[in-house]
Structure 1
């Protein structure tokens, strides 16, 4: 074990404020207080892997609440030791080491050094800061949504949510600016303060990380873990887990900027039906409440001329299995039909005289709903509630940075700059709370462009903003989604095909949609100069897009299970390769490929005309091409041929991949059922045991798992003595209606026809495909008789 002196020497030791001296130390039941000549430090453990540090400057009182943290601190055994030179506070696996002179705080996890404060808290020129010492070679991630490259070290980044229209492969400021970073050493720090500021990730190349802010809490949490899975699970336990979205959220959306009339919307859905392209939802951009882009925002009611029968329209769509989603904004224009009502009801943010703060922006002269005022919240929620009575199934919250938010504007709980970054966060909370109160059994769908640490717990579905419709725009998307998944926002996705610019490029479009199969939400969307809907593209582009969408629907059992894993453990759906090899520095900055769940390796095509791609295959297992079954060695980099029909996709040896059967061409998720499944097992002799599972519920009920209205379908494999045994087992909640299942089983990499195949001990017929080396058989999965759900494949 590393001794205290050895631990201290192994950490960077740039000294803190030389004038800061300890005057008193008190160990409490749930924390440690260390008083200094200029304030008080409070160290508070939340779990064995999470510890919070707060500095209260002399004369200040901690009155602000956290907008991010929801975890109730566990009872952690702590130990305090003190010597003439240092204090050590041990809380389970975390240790705080405080050197007395010069004053220095450092942190370790299981005796492995993490990070140390440098100057600690400082106040200068009206700004407050906390800074830290970094190791020479640790990579840094986080700070929200940016396009910088995976390793974000070297940047000084504004913590101010701001839209970046038409960005491509570099953007230092976007809609989500999280006061959070993670290190390749497998720890993170969350700065628990909502006010605007800056996160400096060693921009001066002097091994210094600094958090700077205009005001607010001087609080941060250290989050550690043994693996990346642990670290992100710990962070999401701290800030909240994402509830399961409705299952239809994993289908295809019809969307553009925008559908002007009811007739136009009906016509577009008829095209999907005629072309037999699956679709689950249609999104109405701002034309649903106004004929023009400018001057109508804030009407928040259907335009009666262009949408004469909105309730019937929505009901007709619903009868086809298509949900309706409406865009809403927090701006009420002075020219809108609701302006006077908003003024009379006192729901708008104000100026210093208490009058509605009016200002100009792109859409007109406006006020802003004060989302922090309970009365304004109630007013806004009643609008949603009344529209929901029309049958609206989901909500799109746009411009929620807010897009223009003057510093002089005042909210109920603070100035614009003090609450700017949590505006979208509180807006999502308003809708989530409304559902819990008025529709507690339903899962909300909340698509939003801006949020904050912990916004995932409200069910927020974030997207990456107004990306340019170019290859540069596409190249930034995997990085943005991977980074946001690490920060709890696992449903970050892009406008498939790109949003900004009239660029008609069928190759770009199809490659973007092929990538979209393996991102959390499949939603083509764009300015209407070039169609975003596949039904309006060229025959070749339409055909390729249809194939991608059909694969997306076939993947529903796998994808929905990933959503369950995210809900239960905080695991991202998209995962960087360093999740698989956390100590491989070659992967620290890699976003060329990524893991889709645990068992699929995806390599998006991000350049035009590519015929071959270089793909790294993680070292824990062999990999098989999803389309050809070609085998690739673990830990190798291979040149892979690129097809027009799809992007490169590989399956981990030993993986179970459940799919909707190819023979069932479902047109939306209302036709989805796990009573018919296609289950693929990727056999390899190196894998002697493996396990997989599928999660199932009704797709609509809130907290179905907690209500015991679920099933887990377990798959197990065992290989020994040239016999592969597959066992199927159902674990069902008390409120889940069980049924027998029809299963098409495909076992890959069977290189010779087996001697025999037994199901429940009885020999059965099977098919063996010599060319593809697949074994195929159909079986009935009995809902209760587990002994009948055992398949033995006896090899030649």
Structure 2
């Protein structure tokens, strides 16, 4: 017995010594102008300065070790030159922005921005485990970790890094389809742990001012980004992980979708009903009934069920002629009962077990195997299916269950990769197959790729993520702004929800209407639900249908504004939905707010998230005054106001000094033209000068911006004591033919009828009513024009 006790004590002592082993500084080497290697007794730290606001840190067991290639990050050659400051006690290297301070004894690593400490290693990486701890400030607010419903401040939570579906969630979900290894803080920094394997992200769950990242295997590497403002942080992060390509314009329109349309006749009837009700529509989504009459046993067929869809080519061609695109659901699971099972076996495209055979297991839909999207053979095989469907007339793709929803640990992927090594990047790799093949075979087209799971950087493969199978309740609705805002700050700016909610059969017209009104100001407008209660407004009560129609029409009126947001996302990495703290980054209270947010730069939106809610408490950012979008009432910035809610819309406000373009309403975006747009300017004497730009191209050709096939309309307004001046500059690139010839202008909050309005020196007519100055049919010329308003 004594021998056993002694042995246990020795084991405990050994474990304690390993845990308590102190890291000791050994040497320091400058590898080039921007890269440094630090040797310790536990391994090597490599610090690579990407630019003045971005730093990559890697831990190497040996100085010559090569870490696995990143699945998310691509680093261009650095143009930063660093001169280290070395003393007996410390080593410092800084870019006059982001910096590193090394204390030799006792050994410590601190990260700084402009001399101010951001965070420091508590326990650095070691040779034994993929684990690192950071010490953080007592009061800083911590966010990130992907898509979760936990509240904006996620400090105090331990977050599993394992993509998993959560059916029917409401106000709380600790684990969802995007579990990203990202932390961002109210101290204006972002940490990206560059390792896709499954693991854990502990955001101070022990309340000891520590965040911990731990992975099951893989690279010991992270990127740290810090800046004066969130716009620069986001631009730097999306430069590293990739910008979202500009989507086709039709993707910003309205979708008809449900689980699901059972036949060609039902599909065509639904689209016809939208036309009859004059509710704008741009796409119809076919759920799994397009390839099988039953839910069970048909997954993997991936070809039209001829009894239900006797002539899919004619159907999709007919829809296209009406301006309607067809989007098809696909899944990565191949059931043994599917029509393609033998084909998949013969082509060797399925994930293996330890014996080298296709691994099969039970799943809700039947006994299944999984397509190995990492295997070049499977990539080609899968793509050829998409290519054939595209030839039949399909325009967009819906990738469902791509966590993958059931992914046993014993599965072995191409390259002898274990399931947990590739689980979190499965959805991204799937989107990459479609995106890369479009670039190779259809380089002029912009693909539409709707998926619910992926990893950091998935946005560069045109992925449009959605928030999974949310419950059809007020609780499910209430978590949606938080999820979209958090994901937008982590690079995935098109995160959106099934409008109206998905799971369950709750028939609540008020909830449905409020969700669709919110949808006007979320990235993708797509009502979708289980078929027990209709998701489409054309099948709802007159009350719900009429209010939904107003919301959808507003969505189409805002198309030029929303397309500009898409352009900003594709070039700058800015999300379409933006949290209030972007506006006031030093106002810590705002880091907790998700129920009011910015839609782009100029809209302040506060959706109605409770039943029978007659008042809504809204914070108005202090940076401007704000105008009610519907009544033009003015609100001062820097305060909370209880505003009355209206049945027809949700509280929506416009920044003073903003130009808001409103287009004509069309049945589909196919009829949209960047012409005859009414620009509302929200005048405020406190805003002496204002400028906005609006991007336009043909709405469908890939890389229009890179190929100089676009136009930008620049509008500038200056206000002086005796006169106000509107400057209009039409920038038309050499490979674009514009049809823009005139616009209309409406000045809101204009207190006095002007004495005259001059266009390029000549008097033009105008109207003045209810403090609105209305000037119609203003000609647009190439180059600059001027409009003078004499007071």
> What TM-score does the superposition give when structure 1 sets the normalisation length?
0.96
Asked if the contact 1:349/1:368 (under 8 Å) is kept, the reply is yes
Structure 1 CA distance for aligned equivalents of residues 185 and 719 of structure 2: 39
Alignment of 1:102-113 (within 5 A): 102-113=106-117
Q: Describe the superposition over 1:619-652 as per-residue Cα deviations: whole angstroms up to 9, x where unpaired.
A: 0110000011100001121121100000010000
Structure 1 CA distance for aligned equivalents of residues 108 and 155 of structure 2: 24
In structure 2, the residue matched to 1:635 is 638
Structure 2 CA distance for aligned equivalents of residues 793 and 756 of structure 1: 6
Structure 2 CA distance for aligned equivalents of residues 157 and 622 of structure 1: 39
Alignment of 1:356-371 (within 5 A): 356-371=358-373
In structure 1, the residue matched to 2:776 is 778
Asked if the contact 2:133/2:211 (under 8 Å) is kept, the reply is yes
> 3-state DSSP class of the match of 1:55?
strand
In structure 2, the residue matched to 1:39 is 43
In structure 1, the residue matched to 2:165 is 163
> 3-state DSSP class of the match of 1:132?
strand
In structure 2, the residue matched to 1:747 is 747
Structure 2 CA distance for aligned equivalents of residues 198 and 59 of structure 1: 27
Q: Describe the superposition over 1:137-189 as per-residue Cα deviations: whole angstroms up to 9, x where unpaired.
A: 11111100000001111100000000000000100000000001100111011
Asked if the contact 1:17/1:102 (under 8 Å) is kept, the reply is no
Asked if the contact 2:731/2:783 (under 8 Å) is kept, the reply is no
Structure 2 CA distance for aligned equivalents of residues 302 and 708 of structure 1: 40
Structure 1 CA distance for aligned equivalents of residues 30 and 127 of structure 2: 27
Structure 1 CA distance for aligned equivalents of residues 38 and 74 of structure 2: 25
2:768 aligned with 1:764: no
2:83 aligned with 1:79: yes
Asked if the contact 2:758/2:787 (under 8 Å) is kept, the reply is yes
How far off its partner does 1:729 sit? 0.7
Moved more, 682-691 or 49-58: 49-58
Q: Describe the superposition over 1:489-522 as per-residue Cα deviations: whole angstroms up to 9, x where unpaired.
A: 0000000000000000000000000000000000
> 3-state DSSP class of the match of 1:78?
coil
Asked if the contact 2:616/2:642 (under 8 Å) is kept, the reply is yes
Structure 2 CA distance for aligned equivalents of residues 62 and 290 of structure 1: 48
Structure 1 CA distance for aligned equivalents of residues 474 and 369 of structure 2: 37
Moved more, 708-717 or 68-77: 68-77
How far off its partner does 1:46 sit? 1.3
In structure 2, the residue matched to 1:288 is 290
Structure 2 CA distance for aligned equivalents of residues 765 and 673 of structure 1: 25
2:447 aligned with 1:451: no
In structure 1, the residue matched to 2:5 is none
In structure 1, the residue matched to 2:674 is 674
How far off its partner does 1:24 sit? 2.2
Structure 2 CA distance for aligned equivalents of residues 412 and 123 of structure 1: 27
In structure 2, the residue matched to 1:4 is none
How far off its partner does 1:18 sit? 5.3
In structure 2, the residue matched to 1:496 is 499
Asked if the contact 2:178/2:453 (under 8 Å) is kept, the reply is yes
Moved more, 754-763 or 596-605: 754-763
Structure 1 CA distance for aligned equivalents of residues 722 and 206 of structure 2: 60
In structure 1, the residue matched to 2:211 is 209
Structure 2 CA distance for aligned equivalents of residues 49 and 301 of structure 1: 49
How far off its partner does 1:45 sit? 1.2
How far off its partner does 1:740 sit? 4.3
In structure 2, the residue matched to 1:553 is 556
Moved more, 92-101 or 207-216: 92-101
Structure 2 CA distance for aligned equivalents of residues 739 and 388 of structure 1: 31
2:69 aligned with 1:65: yes
In structure 1, the residue matched to 2:707 is 707
Structure 2 CA distance for aligned equivalents of residues 463 and 654 of structure 1: 33
> What TM-score does the superposition give when structure 2 sets the normalisation length?
0.96
Asked if the contact 2:731/2:782 (under 8 Å) is kept, the reply is no
Structure 1 CA distance for aligned equivalents of residues 517 and 779 of structure 2: 33
Alignment of 1:355-434 (within 5 A): 355-413=357-415, 414-434=417-437
Alignment of 1:57-456 (within 5 A): 57=61, 61-122=65-126, 128-413=130-415, 414-456=417-459
How far off its partner does 1:123 sit? 6.7
2:606 to 577, 599, 603: 603
Structure 2 CA distance for aligned equivalents of residues 60 and 412 of structure 1: 27
> 3-state DSSP class of the match of 2:453?
coil
Q: Describe the superposition over 1:197-251 as per-residue Cα deviations: whole angstroms up to 9, x where unpaired.
A: 0000000000000001111100001011110111111111110000001100000
Structure 2 CA distance for aligned equivalents of residues 245 and 768 of structure 1: 39
Contiguous gaps of at least 5 residues in structure 1: 1-15
Structure-2 change in CA distance of 1:262 and 1:79 (3 Å): same
Asked if the contact 2:468/2:497 (under 8 Å) is kept, the reply is yes
1:518 to 513, 518, 521: 521
Asked if the contact 2:198/2:424 (under 8 Å) is kept, the reply is yes
Contiguous gaps of at least 5 residues in structure 2: 1-18
Structure 1 CA distance for aligned equivalents of residues 601 and 679 of structure 2: 16
Q: Describe the superposition over 1:447-467 as per-residue Cα deviations: whole angstroms up to 9, x where unpaired.
A: 000010000000000000000
> 3-state DSSP class of the match of 1:754?
coil
In structure 1, the residue matched to 2:724 is 724
Asked if the contact 1:38/1:58 (under 8 Å) is kept, the reply is no
Structure 2 CA distance for aligned equivalents of residues 52 and 326 of structure 1: 40
